[in-house]
Amino acid sequence: MILSIEQVSISSREKKIVDNVSLSIREGEWYALVGQSGSGKSLLSQAIGQMLPPNLQVEGNVFFRGQDLLALSPKQVRTIRGQKLSYIFQDYQGSFTPFRTIGQHFEEYQKAHGILAAKTRKIKAMDALESVGLDETLYNRYPFQLSGGQLQRVSIALALLLSPDLLIADEVTTALDSVSGHKILELLAKRQKETGCSILFITHDWRHVRRYATRLAVMKEGKIVESGGKHRILDHPQHEYTKQLIQAAPTLGHGLPSGLQEVENR
């Protein structure tokens, strides 16, 4: 297993938000964490990389390649984050400084991880932009000059720049239209196949689970209520909450733009 979350709980002063959660992710797999807003899935993902706000307390263990991330210092975790473990957030626009060019973002990201040669940084940035289907002319543009889909592609390029072993993708299509969202997920699937990385995919959209995930866990009110193989859960859900979510989900192809429904149903 590349990642093992063991009996993790997250609490504020008032209540326990995530309660004794355990799950594991295999090498090279696309693992979905599914649940409605407020179920605790995003907080759990942030706990992995020690990215929770200081008012929340974490208990348990998060083993990444056998190393307990929760036992490391913030400095040690920052070294792992980006190089071996990387994030793509729902609020990808908030990850960019408006008055710095895309190229400057790549520069700072690489400097922070010890890539000191300017020529090397420029080449890696251009290669990264090309790998997500973007023209190199975007290197000198500012974030507000890009469309939402382009900016999300840039965030993916940054996340995959140093070839991490595990990518945590948190509701990455929520702010995008159906066409852009579909393209982003196809791009992620392509890059996963090329790099062999594992993906922890946080979502509430069962269509994406059906198409991309291999295994999944369902969260409700901070607890895992069901987990297992995709086909087993989709075809034979055991927990009443899982049944309700699946029954309420759009059917395959529902709400997709013309031309994508056939692709989604394959």
Q: What is the pLDDT along the chain (266 residues), one digit of tens a residue?
A: 999 999 999 999 989 999 999 999 999 999 999 999 889 999 999 999 999 999 999 999 999 999 999 999 998 998 898 789 999 987 777 779 999 999 999 999 898 888 878 888 999 999 999 888 898 899 999 999 998 888 988 998 898 888 899 999 998 887 778 888 888 899 889 889 988 999 999 999 999 999 999 999 999 999 999 999 999 999 999 999 999 999 988 764 444 444 444 333 33
**Residues 93-109: b if buried by 16+ CB within 10 A, e if exposed:** bebbeeeebbbebbbeb
Helix (H) or strand (E) holding 168: strand 166-170
Q: Is the dihedral of CA 127, 129, 132, 137 positive or negative?
A: negative
**Residue 251's pLDDT is what?**
67
**Residue 244's pLDDT is what?**
93
Sorted by where each begins, the domain ranges of the chain are: 1-84+166-178+197-266
Residue 73: both structure tokens together: 């210092």
Is 3 in contact with 166 (CB distance < 8 Å)?
A: yes
Q: How far apart are CA 179 and CA 43, in angstroms?
A: 28
- Residue 52 per-residue DSSP state: S
What topology does CATH give the domain 1-84+166-178+197-266?
Rossmann fold (3.40.50)
Residues whose CB falls within 8 Å of the CB of residue 240, separated by 6 or more in sequence, listed in order: none
Q: How far apart are CA 78 and CA 223, in angstroms?
A: 28
Collapsing DSSP to helix, strand or coil, 160 comes out as: coil
**Residue 263's pLDDT is what?**
37
CA atoms within 13 A on the CB side of 51: 17
Residues whose CB falls within 8 Å of the CB of residue 47, separated by 6 or more in sequence, listed in order: 8, 10, 18, 58, 62, 70
Is 2 in contact with 25 (CB distance < 8 Å)?
A: yes
Collapsing DSSP to helix, strand or coil, 76 comes out as: helix
Give 105-118 as a DSSP string.
Answer: HHHHHHHHTT---H
**CA-wise closest residue to 185 among 217, 154, 211:** 211
Is 46 in contact with 62 (CB distance < 8 Å)?
A: no
**Cα end-to-end span (Å), the chain:** 29
Q: How far apart are CA 181 and CA 173, in angstroms?
A: 5
**Residue 257's pLDDT is what?**
42
CA angle 80, 82, 85 (to 5 degrees): 65
Q: How far apart are CA 90 and CA 108, in angstroms?
A: 21
Q: Is the dihedral of CA 188, 144, 180, 91 positive or negative?
A: positive
